[in-house]
Chain A
Amino acid sequence: MNHPKTSYTLAFAALLAVGLVGCGKEEVKVEAPKVVVLVAEPSVTVKIGHAGPLTVKTPHLGKDDENGVALAIAQANDKKIKIGGKLVKFEMMSEDDQGDPKIGSTVAQKLIDAKVIAVIGHLNSGVAIPASEAYEKVGIPMISGSATNPTLTDRGLKNTFRTVARDDQQGPAIATYIASEIKAKKVSLIDDKTAYGEGLANEVEKTLKSARVNIVGRERTTDTETDFKSILTKIKAKNPDVIFHGGMDQTAGPMMKQARELGIKSIFVFGDGACTEEMFVKAQDAANGLVCSQAGLPSQAASTEFLASFKAKFGDVKQYAPYYYDATNAVIEAIKKADSVDPLKFGPELFNVSFTGATGKVEFDAKGDRKDAEVTIFKMADGKLMPVSIVKAGVATKFEMAAAPIAAPAVVAPVAAPPVAPATKPAEAPKK
């Protein structure tokens, strides 16, 4: 059979092979200038990886995280730390995971190839989860300062940590505030059906239920939706005291605006995704009065020392920079403790680090989660978010008291205290 369409076959195959090999070779050339050679005395240079969405999805947050890591590294280098008798120079290798799980695992491989000793990242839970498997295989510790999904540390991995509160620490904290401070009787929930939004709303619902708060309606939307009138109309008929929305500011903003247009008077409560001043831009006056939470201590409440140095170098903190700063310092602490820059040696030491960082005391539990993570509740007034309360181990404390110097929370509440249990009591009382 003579098929002209199959001509050139071999030529392509050859092209293909050359192309593939060629790609690899070309890569050497490009990669080469990346390795900055530092001229120094008997010193050892180690690379700490950072990965997050630097160009896509939420590049402003990815950059913020990167700055947090950069600051910690710069400070460590200034201190001229000696490990095993050698001066250690830290440098950052920052990679863009585009907030995409597939690209995230490729980037992870790239960091492993570059022999980083630890990875600070990734920003999104959905990316951090598959990437952490790659790090686990080679024994490189990964610490995220922003991934809040419980699954991340629930898989029994030995090298996965986070400095931020889990959804199931943040959710109960918000619920505690709704139940004990707002004293809501009826709450409606909306989530955006993302891993983050749904996970958070589920945790809020669980805790509210155990506090005997009446859940009137659970609605769903998507993270790109702009029309919420139908679900809000449905909620309006149920007349809740509080509407909680698990989602980002891009949905939360229009949602609040539309709710006020429909004449809904309920208090809106959000998680950290919508805990930004961008809310005022998106919902205008409608945003005033919103209540929202941020895992950990508020950036305003981060240690003043950190804030000053960060501001001098990079400007204002966007969101997670202090957690990334602490995550990087946790690695450096572990290295000091183990007196080694070998990830296999200092990795296990991460479970033993204990220091006061930008976001309070940094210690990890057996899963790699932050011990006793605080959650801060904010309220928006005149377009500004003001911290009003700090919830820790299920107890809400007014911000003025808690805000005082950050070193103070050394009065650590008993670790194993069942979250929220104490706080649910007051809410229960008025009900029955």
Chain B
Amino acid sequence: MDTFLQQLVNGLTLGCVYAVVALGYTMVYGIVQLINFAHGEVVMIGAMVAFSVITALAGSGMPPLAIVLLSLLAAIPACMLVGYTVERIAYRPLRNAPRLAPLITAIGVSIILQHVALLIWGRNYIAFPQIVRTESYVLTTSVNSATITNIQIAIIVLSVVMMAGLIALIYKTRIGIAMRATSQNAAVAGLMGINVNSVISFTFIIGAGLGAVAGVMVGSYYGIAYYQMGFLLGLKAFSAAVLGGIGNLGGAVLGGLLIGVIEAFGAGYMGDVTNVCTLNQFLPGFAAMCDANSNASLLGSNYKEVYAFVVLILVLRFRPSGLLGERVSDRA
């Protein structure tokens, strides 16, 4: 198992991104019980805005770190604005409508955002100019070794900082108390003098801000962005939020990390585990086929995308409250 440590590093980096995106889903769900389908698109817009800023400044001779910081400073407000607008236009009028209605507008908004991004940034994959030199560091233990890049370290550190900041916000500030009160019972919170509408707007804005940072992280990690990148990322992050227990911040983080690691290990090991050719000695009939075809895995790395969905279905089936969820999800 000499790849174990490396796969763990791969999985945790990916998991941190999922976790930050999952926080956005879980906060919104915790407060308005709405799956904000458009959250993945907010992440995409964050990446795209950052791309535009970095490309514009890449040749300016500014220090790379300053450029990255500026791109964050541009992406975060842009995404917050998108998050706020979407809530205001597409979700707020439907707050008392049947469940189906905001879900359908959410899908509609998601399509609109994707195609607006397409109009602005084009259809092709866009490549981030590499302004920060990638440095690889080798971690070695007695049996394992793994490389980790400076960007990966930055992603992990940034995620931890953001999660800590978010938890402090929710548990230590007045607006945090208001958010928790609203999520418990919006009507009563309103009676207590909390402006429920602004609390909900604030939640969307914070979620979108996190999404923007996640977008910049994904973009600079892979060096690639495109208008549909948010959708799958969003779905996986949503699965992470459900796995951890939707509405639970710690759960979203745990779920994100788990989904990341499950994907990395799934793609890394499932192919060998499910290789029917290892059954050669038991089932002689396979021998001929295995000689002809080196790829006799039932679940090779091609099934990587499936794991998050399978986890989602299994969790919803057997433990709808998720790993850390306190309240059992009300089954309507």
**Bound-state Cα–Cα, A255 to B267, Å:** 15
Residues of A within 8 A of B305 (CB): 222
B44 to chain A, nearest CB (A): 12
User: Which residues in window 269-315 of B have CB below 8 A to A?
Assistant: 271, 294-295, 300-302, 304-305
User: Which residues in window 1-23 of B have CB below 8 A to A?
Assistant: 2-3, 6-7, 10-11, 13-14
Is A369 among interface residues, defined by CB-CB distance under 8 A?
A: no
Q: Which of the candidate stretches B28-36, B168-176, B223-231 sits at the interface with the other chain?
A: B223-231
Q: Which of the candidate stretches B74-82, B104-112, B130-138, B208-216 sits at the interface with the other chain?
A: B130-138
Q: Check B222–A231 contact: CB distance below 8 A.
A: no
B183 to chain A, nearest CB (A): 33
User: Which residues in window 56-112 of A have CB below 8 A to B?
Assistant: 56-57, 59
B47 to chain A, nearest CB (A): 11
Q: Check A253–B302 contact: CB distance below 8 A.
A: no
B156 to chain A, nearest CB (A): 14
Is B64 among interface residues, defined by CB-CB distance under 8 A?
A: no
User: Which residues in window 239-271 of B have CB below 8 A to A?
Assistant: 263-268, 271
**Bound-state Cα–Cα, A254 to B151, Å:** 14
Residues of B within 8 A of A282 (CB): 125, 127, 223-224
Q: Which of B136, B266, B294, B301 contacts A220 (CB 8 A)?
A: B301
Closest B residue to A234 by CB, please name it.
B268
Binding site for A on B (CB under 8 A): 2-3, 6-7, 10-11, 13-14, 123-125, 127, 130, 134, 136, 138, 147, 149, 218, 222-224, 226, 228-229, 232, 263-268, 271, 294-295, 300-302, 304-305
Label chain A's interface by main secondary structure: helix
Q: Check B138–A263 contact: CB distance below 8 A.
A: yes
Is A281 among interface residues, defined by CB-CB distance under 8 A?
A: yes
B51 to chain A, nearest CB (A): 13
Q: Check A253–B224 contact: CB distance below 8 A.
A: yes
Is A257 among interface residues, defined by CB-CB distance under 8 A?
A: yes
- Selected A-B contacts with CB under 8 Å, 6 pairs: A215-B294, A233-B268, A234-B3, A254-B224, A261-B136, A261-B147
Q: Check A230–B304 contact: CB distance below 8 A.
A: yes
Is A384 among interface residues, defined by CB-CB distance under 8 A?
A: no
User: Which residues in window 273-323 of A have CB below 8 A to B?
Assistant: 281-284
Residues of A within 8 A of B228 (CB): 224
Is A340 among interface residues, defined by CB-CB distance under 8 A?
A: no
> With A221-B302, A282-B125, A282-B223 known to touch, is A226 a contact of B229 (CB < 8 Å)?
yes
Q: Which of A225, A257, A281, A284 contacts B304 (CB 8 A)?
A: A225
Q: Check B138–A230 contact: CB distance below 8 A.
A: no
Residues of B within 8 A of A222 (CB): 302, 304-305
A144 to chain B, nearest CB (A): 22
> With A222-B305, A226-B229, A227-B222 known to touch, is A233 a contact of B10 (CB < 8 Å)?
yes
Residues of B within 8 A of A257 (CB): 223
A57 to chain B, nearest CB (A): 8
B203 to chain A, nearest CB (A): 29
Is A241 among interface residues, defined by CB-CB distance under 8 A?
A: no
Q: Which of B125, B130, B147, B302 contacts A263 (CB 8 A)?
A: B147
B264 to chain A, nearest CB (A): 5
Residues of A within 8 A of B264 (CB): 229-230
**Bound-state Cα–Cα, A57 to B118, Å:** 12
Residues of B within 8 A of A367 (CB): none
> With A218-B295, A284-B130 known to touch, is A226 a contact of B300 (CB < 8 Å)?
no
Q: Check A231–B127 contact: CB distance below 8 A.
A: no
**Bound-state Cα–Cα, A224 to B265, Å:** 20
User: Given known contacts A229-B264, A230-B265, A233-B268, what 20 new A-B pairs fall within 8 Å (CB)?
Assistant: A218-B300, A221-B301, A221-B302, A222-B302, A230-B263, A230-B266, A230-B268, A230-B301, A233-B6, A234-B268, A236-B3, A237-B2, A250-B125, A250-B226, A253-B224, A254-B223, A257-B223, A261-B149, A262-B6, A282-B125
B261 to chain A, nearest CB (A): 10
Residues of B within 8 A of A59 (CB): 123
Residues of A within 8 A of B268 (CB): 230-231, 233-234
Q: Which of A227, A231, A233, A284 contacts B14 (CB 8 A)?
A: A227
Q: Check A263–B224 contact: CB distance below 8 A.
A: no
**Bound-state Cα–Cα, A229 to B302, Å:** 14
